[in-house]
Amino acid sequence: MLSERLKIARKNAGYTQDDIAEHLNVIRQTYSAYETGRSKPDSETLNKLAKMYGVSVDWLLDNTDNPRPPNEKDDWVPYSKIGKSFYEGYDTLSADEKKEVENYMNFLIQKKKNQNK
Domain assignments of the chain as residue spans, ordered by start? 2-60, 81-115
pLDDT in the model for residue 106? 81
pLDDT in the model for residue 62? 86
Residues (pLDDT < 70) of the chain are 69-88, 117
pLDDT in the model for residue 95? 86
Collect all residues with Cβ–Cβ distance below 8 Å to 53 and sequence separation of at least 6: 9, 10, 12, 13, 60, 78
> What pTM, to 2 d.p., does this model score?
0.60
**What is the homologous superfamily of the domain 2-60 according to CATH?**
lambda repressor-like DNA-binding domains (1.10.260.40)
Quick check: 91 and 97 in contact, CB under 8 A? no
